[in-house]
Amino acid sequence: MTQIQLVKLIGQEIRQRKLVIVLLLACIFSALAVVQMSHLNRQLTIQQELNYQQRDHLDTEWRNLLLEQRALAEHSRVEEIARRQLNMQRPTGKHDVTVTLP
């Protein structure tokens, strides 16, 4: 067989097996798509875990800020009651007394 006849024979075989070649290519592309989707799924799962951790951290920070706000509000409430009901005042500089230990 000559080289030209071999090329013609290969061309005939390819035309006869078009369906097989198309199915083979479809399988290869499908496998690549599965790999790509698996990779994206892993990345999204990692990002979701990071988001959950950030949410938990922000929730803890929010609770701490609420506690701090309540503590500060309680202090100002006590000061307001002392001022109104007991007529107490914050001492000025001349009324400050310094106690020193011997």
The burial class, CB within 10 Å (0-12 / 13-18 / 19+), for 18 is exposed
User: Is the predicted pLDDT of residue 40 greater than 90, yes or no?
Assistant: yes
How many CA atoms within 13 Å lie on the side-chain side of 41?
Answer: 6
Mind listing the pLDDT tens digit for each residue in 77-99?
A: 888 888 888 888 877 877 788 88
pTM for this model (two decimals): 0.54
